[in-house]
């Protein structure tokens, strides 16, 4: 087996007396979609936040491509190649699609215009945004100059995913990407998730929607009461089994 | 389950979950076609170019007043109007920056007065040279802005409360420092009075102060529209939390905005010395509301993230055009107040309407 692109060992995170993570292990390989499911309060979000730098674990280690890493801020994780698509999407509605794709990563014009006057390379960013959107096969978004607020929920999600795909060199984490979407738009986002896998990225998908998880995931990490209750696959277990493990009605042999 | 890894096009969803194909246009298609009414198209246009409505209002105002009184269109009147607008227009640039971040600055006038009195009094009484006194005043403006910025970003106080407080603090400081006394033009070095110097452009007469205001607009307009910093100002005002998650250092951007605004107020104070021909701690009493009025009429949204300094310039000119036009028409000045009030409400209503735009 190759080295996992992202691996965590013995992650512990407590909030006062509340135990968020109680020694969690996780392995993510390139070209793989790992779903994380679990009941509310099982530690899904805490797990993801520690992996993406939003929270610092109290104990345990995180390795990226085998190298020990320690993220103090989300920016650290991002610079290391881990992109997160937040449930809230983190897009600025009044800015256009290209501006949102390059938000906080703006590119400047070459030469004096960029270095002294700090002028933005608007056209270049727009062209490259168009290119990355096309590469992902997102045909619902055409004009990069359209403000994000005029897009539908699915299109906004696509913008957020395209941003992660454009800059995430190793891992993309998606937090409930289909929670607010209808059937058709969910389908489009799941296709995007598959696109990310085809680009040989490691993908972590957090979702409450079992059919979606079973449709795209290669492996499923079941989180329960701060621990990993087991890792299953859509082939090895049914959705009913998954829910049973999630709720403790069924235990996996250790 | 079949593998439907097709490209994502608007028309073809996952076949197994999609609704059955409908023959003929659906009710939604009908609605979509009906939607592009003239009003909708205007809404879209204004959404993309918010400066259009203040530009139209300005043109309309000028045409109406010029037809009522021919003197309104004369170079002399226009020159005077431009000179009279310079100070408020400059202050309104700082106000625009802060309103773009969804804040508000009530200490505009107080910061300007404090900077101005510091320049004037250190030059006239402490014998500081013009450049040093000017620099001191500019530093005072920056420091005042930094204090506002510190309170907003570090203590997380609402900008309204912060600047309401510093409005009183800075006003009191200026009055205590000067004892309420003005500094006359003759007591000040040439550099401080320089902003009152007249430049002739054909039949028009503008002041160097007007040029400074114009320079402020050019620099602020460039920074907002062409630099990453400008993008971040809009993004933070639009959605601060999203900006933070996207990697923008929100507090740093906010702080820089308050500091930049402070510097602009101090530059406006310099323009004011030239305009008024003296430095008085009781000058520009209405600066706070006048600057907010210019910003709002100029189409910048009070909710942040939308607007531009060009609109603010138009807004300031509209208010001045009303003032001059109504006074030339011999109408009671209260009507100007009334008209400006109506314009403000109108501008905010238009803003609310164009924010509801959908593609």
pLDDT computed for residue B18 by the predictor: 44
pLDDT computed for residue B36 by the predictor: 65
Q: Which residues pair with A83 in a beta bridge?
A: A172
Domain boundaries, chain A: 6-94+167-247
How many whole angstroms separate alpha carbon A36 and alpha carbon A32? Answer: 13
Q: A95 vs B234: CB contact, 8 Å cut-off?
A: yes
Residues of A within an 8 Å Cβ radius of B: 74-75, 78, 84, 86, 88-95, 99-100, 103-106, 108, 117-120, 137-140, 146-147, 149-151, 158, 183-184, 187-188, 191-192, 194, 215
pLDDT computed for residue B285 by the predictor: 80
State whether the Cα torsion B305-B311-B312-B313 is positive or negative: positive
Identify the residue among B221, B245, B304 best suited for mutation to test binding to A, counting A beta carbons within 10 A and taking the highest. B245
Could you identify the residue written with the tokens 């013995």?
A10
CB of B147 closer than 8 Å to CB of B166: yes
**CATH number belonging to domain A6-94+167-247:** 3.40.50.300
The stretch A74-103 carries a mean pLDDT of: 89
More confident site: A87 or B114: B114
Q: B359 vs A146: CB contact, 8 Å cut-off?
A: yes
Residues of B within an 8 Å Cβ radius of A: 1, 4-10, 13-14, 17-18, 47, 222, 226-229, 231-232, 234-235, 238-239, 241-243, 245-248, 305-306, 357-359
pLDDT in tens, B219-264: 999 999 999 999 999 999 999 988 988 889 999 999 999 999 999 9
Interface A-B, measured as beta-carbon pairs within 8 A, has a size of 106
Min distance A142 CA to chain B CA atoms (Å):
11
CB of B272 closer than 8 Å to CB of B284: yes
Predicted confidence band of residue B349 (pLDDT cuts 50, 70, 90): confident
pLDDT in tens, A2-47: 789 999 999 999 998 888 999 999 999 999 999 999 998 888 989 9
Beta pairing class for B198-201 and A227-232: unpaired
Buried-state track A136-168, b at ≥16 Cβ within 10 A, e below 16: bebbbbeebebbbbbbebbbbbbbbbbbbbbbb
Q: Both ends of chain B: CA-CA distance in Å?
A: 35
Residues in A closer than 8 angstroms to B8, CB to CB, are: 137-140, 158, 188, 191-192
pLDDT in tens, B23-76: 555 666 565 555 567 777 787 777 777 788 889 889 998 999 999 888 998 999
DSSP A202: E
pLDDT in tens, B112-166: 999 999 999 999 999 899 999 999 999 999 999 999 999 999 999 999 999 999 9
DSSP-H helix ranges across chain B? 27-35, 38-48, 52-68, 75-100, 108-124, 130-153, 159-178, 190-193, 208-226, 228-238, 240-246, 250-276, 287-297, 309-328, 334-355
How many whole angstroms separate alpha carbon A179 and alpha carbon A175? Answer: 9
Task: With a cut of 50, say whether residue B102 has pLDDT above it.
Answer: yes
The stretch B87-106 carries a mean pLDDT of: 97
pLDDT in tens, B320-346: 998 899 888 888 888 888 988 998 898
Enter the ipTM: 0.84
- CA B264 to each of CA A147, B123, B146, B152, B247: distance values in angstroms, whole numbers, following the listed order: 30, 21, 13, 19, 28
Q: Both ends of chain A: CA-CA distance in Å?
A: 21
Structural domains of chain B sorted by starting position, each given as residue range(s) with its CATH number in brackets: 72-316 (1.10.3470)
Looking at every residue in chain A, the average pLDDT score rounds to 90
The stretch B276-288 carries a mean pLDDT of: 89
How many whole angstroms separate alpha carbon B184 and alpha carbon A128? Answer: 59
pLDDT computed for residue B343 by the predictor: 86
Identify the residue among A92, A139, A144, A157 best suited for mutation to test binding to B, counting B beta carbons within 10 A and taking the highest. A92
Predicted confidence band of residue A252 (pLDDT cuts 50, 70, 90): confident
The stretch B101-112 carries a mean pLDDT of: 96
């Amino acid at each position: 087996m190759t080295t996992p692109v992202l691996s965590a060992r013995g992650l512990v995170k407590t909030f006062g007396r509340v135990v968020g993570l109680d020694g969690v292990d996780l392995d993510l390989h390139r070209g793989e979609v790992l779903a994380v499911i679990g009941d509310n309060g099982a530690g899904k979000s805490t797990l993801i936040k520690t992996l993406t730098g939003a929270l610092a674990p109290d104990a345990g280690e995180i390795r990226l491509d085998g190298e020990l890493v320690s993220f103090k801020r989300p920016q650290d994780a991002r610079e290391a190649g881990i992109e997160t698509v937040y449930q809230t999407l983190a897009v600025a509605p009044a800015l256009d699609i290209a501006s949102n794709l390059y938000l906080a990563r703006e590119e400047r014009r070459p030469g004096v215009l960029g270095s002294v006057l700090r002028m933005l390379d608007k056209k270049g960013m727009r062209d490259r945004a168009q290119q990355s959107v096309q590469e992902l096969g997102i045909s619902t978004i055409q004009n990069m100059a359209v403000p994000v607020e005029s897009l539908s929920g699915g299109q906004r999600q696509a913008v957020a995913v395209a941003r992660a795909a454009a800059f995430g060199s190793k891992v993309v984490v998606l937090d409930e990407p289909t929670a607010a979407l209808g059937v058709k738009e969910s389908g489009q986002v799941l296709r995007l998730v598959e696109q990310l896998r085809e680009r040989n990225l490691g993908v972590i998908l957090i979702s409450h929607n079992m059919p979606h998880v079973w449709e795209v995931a290669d492996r499923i990490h079941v989180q329960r009461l701060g621990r990993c209750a087991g890792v299953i696959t859509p082939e090895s277990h049914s959705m009913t089994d998954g829910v049973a493990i999630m709720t403790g009605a069924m235990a996996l042999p250790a | 389950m079949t593998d439907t890894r097709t490209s994502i096009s608007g028309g073809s969803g996952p076949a197994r979950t999609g609704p059955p194909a409908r023959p003929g246009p659906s009710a939604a298609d009908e609605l979509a076609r009906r939607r592009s009414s003239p009003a909708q198209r205007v809404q879209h246009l204004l959404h993309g170019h918010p400066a259009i409505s203040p530009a139209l209002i300005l043109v309309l105002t000028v045409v109406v007043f010029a037809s009522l009184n021919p003197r309104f269109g004369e170079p002399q009147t226009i020159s005077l109007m431009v000179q009279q607008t310079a100070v408020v227009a400059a202050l309104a640039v700082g106000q625009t920056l802060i309103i773009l971040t969804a804040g508000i600055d009530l200490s505009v006038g107080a910061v300007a007065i404090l900077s101005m009195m510091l320049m004037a009094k250190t030059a006239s009484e402490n014998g500081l040279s013009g450049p040093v006194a000017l620099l001191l005043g500019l530093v005072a403006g920056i420091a005042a802005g930094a204090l506002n910025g510190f309170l907003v970003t570090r203590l997380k106080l609402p900008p309204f409360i912060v600047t309401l407080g510093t409005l009183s603090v800075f006003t009191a400081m200026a009055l205590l420092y000067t004892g309420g006394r003005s500094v006359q033009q003759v007591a000040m070095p040439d550099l401080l009075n320089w902003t009152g110097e007249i430049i002739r452009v054909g039949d028009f007469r503008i002041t160097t102060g007007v040029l400074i205001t114009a320079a402020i607009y050019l620099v602020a307009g460039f920074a907002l529209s062409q630099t990453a910093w400008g993008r971040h100002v809009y993004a933070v005002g639009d959605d601060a939390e999203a900006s933070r998650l996207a990697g923008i250092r929100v507090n740093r951007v906010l702080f820089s905005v308050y500091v930049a605004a402070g510097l602009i107020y101090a530059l406006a104070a310099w323009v004011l010395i030239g305009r008024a021909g003296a430095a008085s701690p009781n000058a520009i009493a209405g600066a706070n509301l006048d600057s907010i009025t210019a910003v709002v009429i100029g189409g910048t949204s009070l909710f942040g993230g939308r607007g531009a300094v060009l609109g603010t310039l138009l807004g300031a000119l509209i208010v001045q055009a009303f003032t001059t036009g109504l006074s030339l028409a011999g109408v009671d000045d209260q009507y100007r107040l009334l008209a400006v009030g109506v314009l403000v409400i109108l501008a905010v209503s238009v803003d609310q309407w164009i924010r509801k735009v959908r593609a």
